Structure 1
Amino acid sequence: MKYLLAGEESQRLLFRTILTSDFDAWLPFHQNPLSSQHWTGPPKDPVEACQQQFDAIFERYINNKGGMNALICKKTTDLVGFCGLLMQTVKGKDELEIGYSILPSYWGNGYATEAAIKCKEVAFVNAWAPHLISIIHVDNLPSKKVALKIGMELRETTSYKQNPVEIFAINH
């Protein structure tokens, strides 16, 4: 499967593919209204939203369009979040995006930044793309901070899937 980091690790995290058995551990992400407050489109029902996300993840895996990896805390073996490289089409152009989501109980611990740095390193070492992007809702300040911490710069403001977003980018 292309663009996945299964088997990689960072200082505190192990990367592996997402499994159907991760569903219950990931459900609290969708049960917290702050997790998806900026995006229109996901179902309001947490179970339905989680299922929709898992379906999209497994479809990406099958179609070699990258995807999220489960982030496992080395110390506790708990699932703390998802992060990965995803092929996205922005304004008719294919782009490789670093995407990240952390379970609310682990927010503020630097896991998104740590995982995003690893994604950036692996993508550039393997020459998977000359640059990487992150598509971030204009009101999502924590995600913007992660993008800036890993060296990305604001490239443009646009609309993506009917949401106002900022595209952050970094060149190899």
Structure 2
Amino acid sequence: MLNPIDTDKVIRDGGATGRFPDEMHPAAAWWIAACFVVTLRSDQLVVAHDGQPATAKFFDLLCQGAINAQHYACQVLDLGVADEDELVIAMKEADRAPGMRVTTAGDQVTITLYDRAGVPLAERPSLYLIRRMIAEERIPLPVNTECKGSIQPYSEAAR
């Protein structure tokens, strides 16, 4: 990562939290999402955000990272602005797909990662593996263009 983050400090407690721009920057969202897809071996993901202007760049890069994760061709279902309860319901409707939600409060950015059961990701093995992949700069890029996923509005996927 060109601008590394302190993975042990930032990636914890079910996701990633840090002050922008000191501890967390938008490019970290790309890495976190790509590593999340690879760690959970997921080909579908539901994503949401809180609608705050500061969240937009993090959210965009999070979606891009998720569709560029090795050979998973992850379909990212964009729920848009949604709270945690709405995201968990959408995840269940999407055949128990994992999910991610980006929020900001002041200068704190939080990316919460949810497992297939709709609970924040556990430390072992998932968060530990994501933290190690990022710290060791193991980039989970697609192996070819056919392996790249796509982003679509959740409402279109639910039809």
TM-score of the aligned structures, taking structure 2 as reference length? 0.34
**Greater RCO (CA < 8 Å, at least 6 residues apart):** 2
Structure having the larger proportion of residues in strand = 1
TM-score of the aligned structures, taking structure 1 as reference length? 0.32
Structure having the larger proportion of residues in helix = 2
